[in-house]
């Protein structure tokens, strides 16, 4: 196709204009290398109570089952890093990604803009947008398209900018120029494995989801197991430990998305205010926030678990 190169440049330039820090493109094909890894991870119950991970096994590996006649997977990274920290160092901690407006809302709008741009500039193109909302192996596609490598903590790491990124995809039925994978730069470093409070990183690149603090504080809907008592390091929603200790994140840069800026009420909330949080305050503070996913009772459960 003579216009492949031109279309590829158009799409990458528009992705950059929309605020995506990196854009890589892969051929839409079956992820043969990932199939046995996913099967083994599920067989060993590393998904814990996340039963949805067992659904749509084939779709997770084959983009042509998600989009008819899929030709290209466009992988995108959107920075959410901020050096801002909660003011009270004794307060329950919230993961950086949840400081601002829910990323699903912010990024999906940008993906729709990119898809509209493609249809306006190139012609009728079929496809779907994805942002952590469908059975798709986002990190695998991002690595395949050269946006980074899968680190020992299971996160995608970009050599120049670290790992504090949201991942998103656009699967389309248009053939484009494809990028290739980059190399692994973790070396002999085991900082993330050594620092994990619950020993959830069971071996390089393999995270036991059923042991992860993010799993316990977000995904798990029942009581947190008592054996996890005093292991959460004050995390009440998510956990950033394995990213905070990663040497590559010294290259992380402040994001440029106003909607991801934390509310002052969040940053300056004291330990006592967290402990005494009411449902009314929860609803006001976390309107359109990822934290809403836990609901008030879930967050209160988490706070009580780390404080009582």
The set of catalytic residues is 132
* Cα–Cα distance, 8 to 177 (Å, whole number): 6
Give dist(CA 20, CA 16) in Å, integer: 5
d(C-alpha 99, C-alpha 260), whole Å: 6
Provide the angle, in degrees to the nearest 10, between the axes of the packed helices 103-121 and 4-17. Answer: 150
User: What residue ranges in 234-293 does DSSP mark as E strands?
Assistant: 235-237
> Any long-range contacts for 216-219 (C-beta under 8 Å, 24+ apart)?
216/302, 217/294, 217/302, 218/293, 218/294, 218/298, 219/48, 219/49, 219/50
The rounded distance, in Å, linking the Cα atoms of 105 and 108 is: 6
Q: Identify whether the C-beta of residue 215 lies closer than 8 Å to the C-beta of residue 294.
A: no
Question: How far apart, in whole angstroms, are the C-alpha atoms of residue 281 and residue 156?
Answer: 35
Residues 6+ apart with CB under 8 A from 247: 189, 191
């Amino acid at each position: 196709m003579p216009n492949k190169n031109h279309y590829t440049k158009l799409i990458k330039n528009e992705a950059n204009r929309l605020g995506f820090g990196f854009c890589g493109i892969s051929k839409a094909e079956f992820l043969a290398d990932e199939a046995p890894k996913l099967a083994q991870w599920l067989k060993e119950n590393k998904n814990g109570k996340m039963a949805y991970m067992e659904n749509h096994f084939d779709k997770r590996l084959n983009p042509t089952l998600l989009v008819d006649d899929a030709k290209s997977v466009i992988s995108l990274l959107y920075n959410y890093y901020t050096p801002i920290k909660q003011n009270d160092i004794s307060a329950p901690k919230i993961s950086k990604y949840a400081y601002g407006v829910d990323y699903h809302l912010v990024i999906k709008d940008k993906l729709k803009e990119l898809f509209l741009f493609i249809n306006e500039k190139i012609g009728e193109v079929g496809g779907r947008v994805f942002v952590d909302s469908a059975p798709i192996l986002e990190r695998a596609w991002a690595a395949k398209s050269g946006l980074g490598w899968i680190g020992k903590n299971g996160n995608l790491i970009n050599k120049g900018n670290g790992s504090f990124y949201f991942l998103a995809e656009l699967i389309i039925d248009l053939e484009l120029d494809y990028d290739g994978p980059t190399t692994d730069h973790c070396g002999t470093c085991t900082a993330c494995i050594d620092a994990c409070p619950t020993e959830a990183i069971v071996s390089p690149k393999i995270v036991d989801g059923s042991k992860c603090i993010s799993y316990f504080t977000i995904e798990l809907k029942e009581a947190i197991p008592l054996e996890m008592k005093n292991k959460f390091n004050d995390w009440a929603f998510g956990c950033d430990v394995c990213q905070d200790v990663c040497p590559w994140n010294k290259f992380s840069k402040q994001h440029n998305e106003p909607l991801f800026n934390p509310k002052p009420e969040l940053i300056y909330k004291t330990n006592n205010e967290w402990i005494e949080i009411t449902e009314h305050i929860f609803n006001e503070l976390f309107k359109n926030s990822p934290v809403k996913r836990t609901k008030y009772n879930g967050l209160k459960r988490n706070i009580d678990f780390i404080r009582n």
